[in-house]
Amino acid sequence: MSSPCTQSKGEEEKKSDSVQIDPGAGYKYGVLVSEDTPVNRNDAHSIQLKIDFSGEKENDKNHVSTLEKVSQNESYAELPVQSKSALKRKMKKDLWELRKKEKRIQEREKRKKRKLDPTHRLNTVTRKQLKNATMANSNCKVTIAIALSFDNYMDERSLAKCVKQISRCYSINRRATDPVQFHVTSLDGASLKEMSKNSGYENWDVNLHEKHFTEIFSKEKIVYLTSESDNVIENLKDDYVYIIGGLVDHNSHKGLCHKLAEEKGLSHGRLPISENIDMKTRKVLTIDHVFNVMVNICNGQSWKEALLEILPARKGAQEKPVDDNTITNGDRIADKFAVADEDAAADEDAEADEDAEADEDAVADEAASADEDAAADEDAVC
Ligand SMILES: C[S@@+](CC[C@H](N)C(=O)[O-])C[C@H]1O[C@@H](n2cnc3c(N)ncnc32)[C@H](O)[C@@H]1O
């Protein structure tokens, strides 16, 4: 059978049961967009899916080749098409799987190259340092817990991103001179299954719990972190437990963690972002960015230093003019725009995708390093 991309018009007409994939237009950041033509389920199973290669960057050849592999997959032509969205879902899933495999190969090659680089050893933490910098040896007694239990609010891909962010948190903590007391709670069901993909995670220097955090920590010591809180965190206290919601939702469940904290009668607080830096986008950070900022605070940085170091440039984080700690009209206007930004779901998704693209390499590297850490931990246990 010929590829669906190369079928002639005559063949197309004869094959009313087949799916036509036309590498024309409409692809952006891993999302396949189909034409808005409604499918007449009674007499036509033919769907035109359009994929745009034109927007791809010159250096993104692998990405394009992945797309070609997916779009030229002959099996699509044989699919008994139920609906246009079912086909789109299948193509997206296949595309995601193929990209994942390619990424893994690229990461492995990158790691191999890095090991051969003579400067590599200078930039990495030694095994000895890793063995010594444990939570038990740390001078920092601040507890940070990532609370899972949002499995029902995340699809497979978001849950995978969530667990990837947790593995990055682990990596950040292992590299800190004084690691925080790190816990992951409600690790069961789909979250546990996803976490189990990190081989050796059971050996990580992290307290893993199946239970909900309210069953582990005393209520009076809990501070739920949420960007919607009116309470600004100024200092991190040793005997307190700071909860980060284990949720990757591109803010589609805006205010969820704040609502949960209120419902459970828990204290809550937000990071002092507008008090320390100017930021032109919304102030909802990713799990690993929140964690990283807090680890850096525990290791002696000021809020300003930590926020400027951790927040990606695309967030537009800038130093605030000296002595400007009051909320200005400019801040209010910026906040207003940020809220409008939050409400624009489409913009948010695009931003989240950019986020993922921009951070993907860094996260992958860190996750890989986390595995190396686990190996170091294993050594320590032996
Ligand atoms: C991606 S956010 C989840 C956003 C979600 N829509 C919500 O309303 O909670 C993941 C977690 O990071 C923490 N977080 C994000 N930005 C924060 C901020 N500016 N201050 C305090 N915590 C923040 C919160 O604990 C939040 O649950």
> Quick check: 190 and 151 in contact, CB under 8 A?
yes
pLDDT, tens only, 270-292: 999 999 998 878 889 999 999 99
Could you tell me if the CB of 146 is within 6 A of ligand 1? Answer: no
Quote the distance between the C-alpha of residue 56 and its chain's center: 22
- Would you say residue 264 has pLDDT above 50? yes
Residue 77 near ligand 1, beta carbon < 6 Å: no
What is the predicted pLDDT for the residue at 131?
Answer: 75
332 or 267, which is more confident?
267
Domain boundary among 102, 124, 150: 102
Question: Does residue 114 or residue 353 have the better pLDDT?
Answer: 114
Most confident of 104-108, 178-182, 374-378: 178-182
Shared domain check, 163 and 96:
no
3-state secondary structure of 217: coil
Tell which wins on pLDDT, 227 or 365: 227
| Tokens of residue 292, six digits | 């990283």
- Would the pLDDT of 58 be above 70? no
Is the domain of 160 the same as that of 309? yes
More confident residue, 377 or 296: 296
Report the distance separating Cα 163 and Cα 210, nearest Å.
Answer: 15
> Which H or E element spans position 129?
helix 127-132
Nearest-angstrom CA–CA distance, 56 and 65: 11
CB atoms within 10 A of CB 22: 16
> If you measure from the C-alpha of residue 156 to the centroid of ligand 1, how many angstroms do you get, rounded to a whole number?
20
Domain count for the chain, please give it: 2
Q: Which CATH number belongs to the domain containing residue 231 in this structure?
A: 3.40.1280.30
Has residue 4 been placed in a domain?
Answer: no
Q: Please, what is the average pLDDT of the chain?
A: 72
Name the residue of 284, 335, 359 to mutate for ligand 1: max ligand atoms within 8 A of Cβ.
284
In a shared domain, residues 168 and 86 = no
On whether both 159 and 224 belong to a single domain, the answer is yes
Q: How confident is the model at residue 344 (pLDDT cuts 50, 70, 90)?
A: very low
Q: Are residues 70 and 146 in the same domain?
A: no
> Is residue 285 lining ligand 1, measured as CB closer than 6 Å?
yes
Residues 161 and 91 in one domain: no
Domain end call among 102, 124, 158: 102
Residues 260, 368: Cα–Cα separation, whole Å: 33
80, 102, 124 - which closes a domain: 102
Q: What is the dihedral of CA 341, 342, 344, 349, to 10 degrees?
A: 110
- pLDDT per residue over 295-335, tens digit each? 999 999 999 999 999 987 766 777 876 654 444 444 443 44
Q: Is the pLDDT of residue 369 over 50?
A: yes
Evaluate whether residue 18 is within a structural domain.
Answer: yes
Evaluate if residue 65 carries a pLDDT over 90. Answer: no
Same domain, 227 and 331: yes
In a domain? residue 112:
no
User: Does 142 score more than 90 pLDDT?
Assistant: yes
**Ligand 1 close to Cβ of residue 149 (< 6 A):** no
Q: Is residue 119 part of a domain?
A: no
What was the pLDDT predicted at 378?
A: 46
Q: What is the domain extent for residue 14?
A: 9-102
Give a yes or no: residue 218 inside a domain.
Answer: yes
Output the pLDDT for position 17.
37
Q: Are residues 269 and 194 located together in one domain of the fold?
A: yes
pLDDT of residue 277: 92
Instruction: Give dist(CA 101, CA 109) in Å, integer.
Output: 13
Q: What is the DSSP letter of 34?
A: B
First to last CA, the chain: 57
pLDDT band of residue 349 (cuts 50, 70, 90) is very low
Q: What is the pLDDT of residue 84?
A: 63
- The larger pLDDT score, comparing residue 280 to residue 361, is at 280
- Does 96 lie in the same domain as 152? no
200-257: pLDDT as tens digits: 899 999 999 999 999 999 999 999 999 999 999 999 999 899 999 999 998 899 999 9
Q: Is the CB of 251 under 6 A from ligand 1?
A: yes
202 & 283 share domain: yes
Burial of 273 (0-12, 13-18, 19+ CB in 10 A): buried
Q: Is 161 in the pocket of ligand 1 (CB under 6 A)?
A: no
User: Is 318 found in the same domain as 173?
Assistant: yes
Task: Check whether residue 169 and residue 300 sit in a common domain.
Answer: yes
Residue 360 lies in a domain: no
